[in-house]
Amino acid sequence: GAVVSQHPSRVICKSGTSVKIECRSLDFQATTMFWYRQFPKQSLMLMATSNEGSKATYEQGVEKDKFLINHASLTLSTLTVTSAHPEDSSFYICSANPPRGTTAYNEQFFGPGTRLTVL
């Protein structure tokens, strides 16, 4: 199946710093990637849809100036948490769809996730 990677897998930072998380589709091109956040014992909440070559689409209640998304190429999307605070501590997961016309189009493949802890 298609592979999506994330880096880093775990990050601990001080309050007020910025953290960048990378999401890569390793063996397919993804014009669209999705960023989710998951708090302990809760389900995945979609934060934004990352579109290659254009601005990301943010879900209601997600601050676009705080969570900066850049989809610079067909295989890479980045999420930057700016001026992170302890309440931003969470599990951040990205996902991507293989292109239409491929057998795996109907699946959304998830990266392994990044656990962010803000002290």
Partner 1 sequence: GQNIDQPTEMTATEGAIVQINCTYQTSGFNGLFWYQQHAGEAPTFLSYNVLDGLEEKGRFSSFLSRSKGYSYLLLKELQMKDSASYLCAVRGIKAAGNKLTFGGGTRVLVKP
Does 77 contact partner 1 by CB under 8 A?
no
CA distance 1 to 28: 10
Binding test (CB under 8 A) with partner 1, winner from 13, 20, 22, 32: 32
Does 62 contact partner 1 by CB under 8 A?
no
Q: Tokens representing 69?
A: 């998304």
Binding test (CB under 8 A) with partner 1, winner from 11, 111, 116, 118: 111
CA distance 20 to 29: 21
For residues 86 and 106, which CB has a smaller minimum distance to partner 1 in the complex?
A: 106
Q: Please list, in sequence order, all residues whose beta carbon lies within 8 angstroms of the beta carbon of residue 71, skipping any fewer than 6 positions away.
A: 33, 50, 51, 52, 53, 54, 56, 77, 78
Does 44 contact partner 1 by CB under 8 A?
yes
CA distance 89 to 13: 10
CB of 106 to partner 1, least distance (A): 5
CA distance 54 to 109: 21
Span near partner 1 by CB under 8 A; candidates 12-20, 22-30, 61-69, 101-109: 101-109
Please give the residue ranges that form the binding site for partner 1 (CB under 8 A): 1, 32, 34, 41-46, 49, 57, 91, 93, 95, 97, 106-113, 115
